[in-house]
Chain A
């Protein structure tokens, strides 16, 4: 059974107030993601990638259609239940505004557990483990603004992982990073997929990164234009190919 399923997802913005134009950000999107898949979503700016991710992650509700995570229909949950589901089953990584600047790195990572009522010591223990996994154990006590962009982003990944979520959703996590840092972040995500059979959905503009994923979904005008499985890469056993080059031939259209 798919770990995540979207059926007939639609999302329109505006149109309620007089004069404001209706924008159909998503238009009848169907999608199923299996456990351990590494899915890359690409597409032109404004094609609805972020919107899709928000709906899948339960931080916005669709205009119509449904999202099922591990068999649970998100539409059936009230706000609080949805919040609990987010903090237990979903990990988010975004391009910016990822870490609370008031908290240290380890506190940031522990936050989802703390929100869930986990005792402090245990939460920080788990946070330390997660930081170790992303190679940041030595920066645990630092504030976000004392870290580089790449380190912050790895910290965000650690936070996304700390609850051992069903799925990690990442919206252009490398958008603000240089190629070296981008590479480390992506390697990290791929390693997770490989070692833990972690399901990851990643939005990216970078064809090189998309090529590394086991599956590439291309969006256009709010619809899925293509949905391609790559044989050569992105599987649980795939090695890590070099980044930044031309699309590895597997990307087909």
Chain B
């Protein structure tokens, strides 16, 4: 159809308008691509982080009633999608004799060569065991024992004494995920034979393939297992990593969704302005006999072409920006920057989506254009003011309601937490949809603050805003979303970080820490009173003010794995954990009575609540204990049972301190280093300063936080570009009006002020509405992550976050208006009067 020539001519005649439209689409698509790639980079980064923390993500299969089981009773699992390896494990406590030293250690039987081949075990020296009398030692243990490759170690089994040759040294970190703290690695068959337990295993670890979903795999495995076997996520550090990952992923989804929403506003607004500006042309076409459908097709074709061009440009820009962004994110996550990869679907999807959104966004303006009264083409008056229909409000209310229902279901755990993301986005859209109803009065109210001597500019600016509530709402929509987003997520991020950090500071409140190699994973067997030797030696060191011992053991409660944490609870220091729904004093008393505190996540998983009496199995001994309260706990993913050491000793025979926290007398922390190191070495323990631990945790947390901030910042940049573009288009469109104003004697200063004022009013109003939205978003995220974290989050407002965002919004709009304002005074008077 030959209207295409008219289209081309219109673009050539007014390239600014077409360019601004293309630019809007490009910005939106670029944002989409960049956010997508950045989110992918973040996810990959989190994954690597989680692996660093956890070791290797895996699923644990054990006998339901505890104890060993026949390896043959395990069905075939290796063929399930997402399985990287199936690793049978056999554990056996042993005593090593090296010269005069005797060291109690846990021996781990495993197919060493297969693990090494699969890249699941890293040897720093030597090779995997092949013969029955060969072992691989944990590097920290080897160092403590002063053993090297080819040295001999004597291993006491139940009845026999075996001479073993060290053939390999294993990297401590790579042992953590399966060795349960053991430092001696032996072939699984020799160890079984040594224990007269041929064909039996303690547990089987199923390693999740990279990119695989653990929950999905867990489900698939559980389906195949016989009733006697149980599959679960191993208790341990995994939980924490997973928690952080989960909420971070939720955040990422939310940010990505909001970016898409923002892109919609941007493109929608551009299309709307692009069309409304040409009302008169369309009206003339109608007079000459163009049907409504012809006009509609004209607008739609234009949208498709501009959308496609904008999308391609935007995708290219987005890609260009994505490289540095994902490298930056990898850096903040301290993850090795993997080769920067782009999902093959990103570009086609972004281009298609951009074009479709452009067409969709043009639908309404196209319909409006088709309905332009032919008479309008002849009138000298500007197009009639838009009305905001009641239906619009109804739509907003319906969206609100749907979102609220979904959100409630999430909080009630009828829907997965992920469902909160679309609900949140819907709510945001609903929120923006209601702005046309409040914006005019809000702007008018803000305008009161403008000095009286700018009365004329003020009146004209307000008039301009009020005349076109829908367009104004779309413009501010971008800003509202950006601000809500930033405030909401800013709060959520800070809340989560404070939560995690607060807990660590409560737990790791010492200057030095002595640990066994597997810090949290804990031992499998009780140790005699000599286990307290290290602690006592430390107490005797001059300059030590306080020593707190923490014993850790894996156990089972109500059918689930748990970590039993036995620790000193000094009366003169705050509790090291955060009770939920009770006071510290009450919890302290309950613990003194020998009751235990359960991590919130554990309680949720196995279904226990305060006041319950449950059977806890540790070291094969089952004891009935009472749950005093639930507590917030991150190290073991909240899957811990915490009790006093005296109670642990009485109930389970748990004596050893796997972790010894040492607080120095004021100013003497540094001088303890040498004596503590000696003690650590003699007991095969590692010495760490608390600073290292804190640095480690802070590193993880701030990496995640920084990457979220980076993506958020991206959103804000896009928001401001959008506002700049909209204001530019708005000025382009008002060329005539501004020219007329200049012609009748408005000074250039007045025109500049008029444009600036209009943007500022929009900025302030959008910022204020966004603030309200942001507070909602913050609460919403806090609600949605409640089922994940298992404890109610204190809804708190941070004035600094709110203030910074509001100021940023206003600053962004003021900046955005500057160029169009300059342009407005540069307009050629004659041309602007003749426009159209």
Contact = CB atoms under 8 A, between A and B. Distances in A.
Interface stretch (A32-40, A108-116, A185-193): A108-116
B49 to A, nearest CB: 57
A45 interface: no
Given A60-B373, A60-B374, A114-B2, A102 B9 contact: yes
A59 interface: yes
Contact of A97 (B286, B291, B294, B378): B378
A206 B6 CA distance: 36
Given A114-B2, A120-B2, A101 B836 contact: yes
A114 B281 CA distance: 16
Interface string A73-115: 0000001100111111010101011101111000100011011
Given A59-B374, A102-B9, A120-B2, A80 B289 contact: no
Given A80-B293, A97-B378, A115-B294, A87 B9 contact: no
Contacts of B9: 100, 102-103, 107
A159 B287 CA distance: 12
Contact of B291 (A80, A92, A111, A171): A80
Given A100-B281, A103-B9, A107-B5, A87 B288 contact: yes
Given A97-B377, A101-B836, A102-B13, A86 B6 contact: no
Contacts of B377: 97
Contacts of B289: 83-88, 90, 112, 115-116
A87 B290 contact: yes
Contact of A86 (B287, B293, B373): B287
Nearest to B3: A114
A70 interface: no
B819 to A, nearest CB: 26
A102 B291 contact: no
Contacts of B3: 114-115
A30 to B, nearest CB: 23
Contacts of B788: none
> Which DSSP category, helix, strand, loop or mixed, fits chain B's interface?
helix
B703 interface: no
Nearest to B9: A102
A112 B6 CA distance: 13
A195 interface: no
B516 interface: no
Nearest to B12: A102
A79 B284 contact: no
Interface in A41-92: 54, 59-60, 79-80, 83-88, 90, 92
A116 B1 CA distance: 10
Contacts of A96: 380
B378 to A, nearest CB: 6
Contacts of B836: 97, 101
Interface in B456-478: none
Interface in B1-27: 1-3, 5-6, 9-10, 12-13
B368 to A, nearest CB: 14
Contact of B288 (A79, A115, A120, A145): A115
Contacts of A90: 289
Interface string B276-317: 000011001111111111100000000000000000000000
Interface in A115-157: 115-117, 120, 123, 145
A114 B9 CA distance: 15
B804 interface: no
B394 interface: no
B7 to A, nearest CB: 9
A60 B755 CA distance: 36
B292 A80 contact: yes
Nearest to B13: A102
Given A97-B378, A100-B284, A83 B2 contact: no
Contacts of A116: 289
Contact of A94 (B1, B286, B378): B378
A86 B288 contact: yes
Contacts of B6: 100, 102-103, 107, 111
B834 interface: yes
Contacts of A145: 834
B292 A79 contact: yes
Contacts of B743: none
B744 to A, nearest CB: 19
A92 B293 contact: no
Nearest to A95: B378
Interface in B362-377: 373-375, 377
A103 B281 CA distance: 11
A59 B290 contact: no
A83 B290 contact: yes
A96 B13 CA distance: 20
A114 B1 CA distance: 8
A80 B374 CA distance: 12
Nearest to A99: B284
A127 B377 CA distance: 22
Name, among B2, B288, B375, the residue most crowded by chain A CB atoms within 10 Å (CB to CB).
Answer: B288
A187 to B, nearest CB: 24
B291 A54 contact: no
A59 B294 contact: no
A164 to B, nearest CB: 14
Name, among A54, A92, A107, A116, the residue most crowded by chain B CB atoms within 10 Å (CB to CB).
Answer: A92
A83 B296 CA distance: 14
Name, among B9, B280, B373, the residue most crowded by chain A CB atoms within 10 Å (CB to CB).
Answer: B9
Contacts of A79: 291-292
Contact of A84 (B1, B13, B291): B291
B804 to A, nearest CB: 45
Interface in B508-552: none
B287 A59 contact: yes
A111 B288 contact: yes
A183 to B, nearest CB: 24
Nearest to A171: B378
Nearest to A124: B2
Contacts of A111: 6, 285, 288
A92 B375 contact: no
A83 B289 CA distance: 4
Contacts of B380: 96
A126 B290 CA distance: 18
Contacts of A87: 288-290
Contacts of B285: 100, 111, 115
A94 B374 CA distance: 13
Contacts of B290: 83, 87, 115
A171 B378 CA distance: 10
A145 B835 CA distance: 11
Contacts of A117: 1
A9 to B, nearest CB: 16
Interface of B: 1-3, 5-6, 9-10, 12-13, 280-281, 284-294, 373-375, 377-378, 380, 834, 836
Given A80-B291, A107-B5, A112-B289, 16 more contacts: A60-B373, A84-B291, A85-B289, A86-B288, A92-B288, A101-B836, A102-B12, A102-B13, A103-B9, A111-B6, A111-B285, A112-B288, A115-B285, A115-B288, A145-B834, A171-B378
Interface of A: 54, 59-60, 79-80, 83-88, 90, 92, 94, 96-98, 100-103, 107, 111-112, 114-117, 120, 123, 145, 159, 171
Sort A-B residue pairs by CB-CB distance and give the 10 closest, nearest first. Answer: A87-B289, A102-B9, A59-B374, A86-B289, A83-B291, A80-B291, A102-B13, A114-B2, A102-B10, A115-B290
25 contacts: A54-B375, A54-B378, A59-B286, A83-B286, A83-B291, A85-B289, A87-B290, A96-B380, A97-B377, A98-B284, A100-B6, A100-B281, A100-B284, A102-B9, A102-B10, A103-B6, A103-B9, A107-B5, A107-B9, A111-B285, A112-B289, A115-B288, A115-B289, A120-B2, A171-B378
